[in-house]
Amino acid sequence: MENKKKIEYILNELISNQNTSDIPKFFSNNYVVHTSKKDYLGHKIIIKWSKDLHNFFSDLKVIKIQFLVQTDEFIVWKRTLRGKIKPSKNKNLKMGQLIKWEEMIVSRFKNGLIMEEWNNSEFLGALMSKSSRIGK
């Protein structure tokens, strides 16, 4: 399976099917993801990310995947996600509010597995812009 197809497949499994069992087939045991705040290591962060999204959102969907640049080792891509906020203790967030955000990812492959990723997400900005409008 080509690397683009791997990304599409595993994203569908994690988001649409809520299935994390195929993570070892696509991500290295030494997987690391770099975010603006911190680096995370291992499969557990992928499982936590998927679980947290599904705990926070209903109707979670991948709206769009756009591949921007590809080499044998790297793929630069964007994903657009959307979901409705589930009930929570946070009074600033309106249950059922639709949130849509983009993430830019650079994935590095080695021996057919994703070894490393750099992730830049607009999630908090999208969430904050929605919560600031609540009650207006």
Q: Read out DSSP for 41-89?
A: ESHHHHHHHHHHHHHHEEEEEEEEEEEEEE-SSEEEEEEEEEEEEPP-S
135: in domain:
no
Q: How many domains is the chain partitioned into structurally?
A: 1
11: in domain:
yes
87: in domain:
yes
38: in domain:
yes
Structure tokens, 9: 């497949």
105: in domain:
yes
Structure tokens, 16: 């649409």
pLDDT of residue 134: 40
36: in domain:
yes
Structure tokens, 136: 């207006």
pLDDT of residue 87: 79
24: in domain:
yes
Give the CATH number for residue 82: 3.10.450.50
Q: Domain residues for 21? A: 3-130
pLDDT digits (tens, 9 = 90+) for 52-68: 999 989 999 999 999 99
Are β-strands 113-121 and 98-110 bridged in parallel, bridged antiparallel, or unpaired?
A: antiparallel
For the chain, residues with pLDDT lower than 70 are 89-93, 129-136
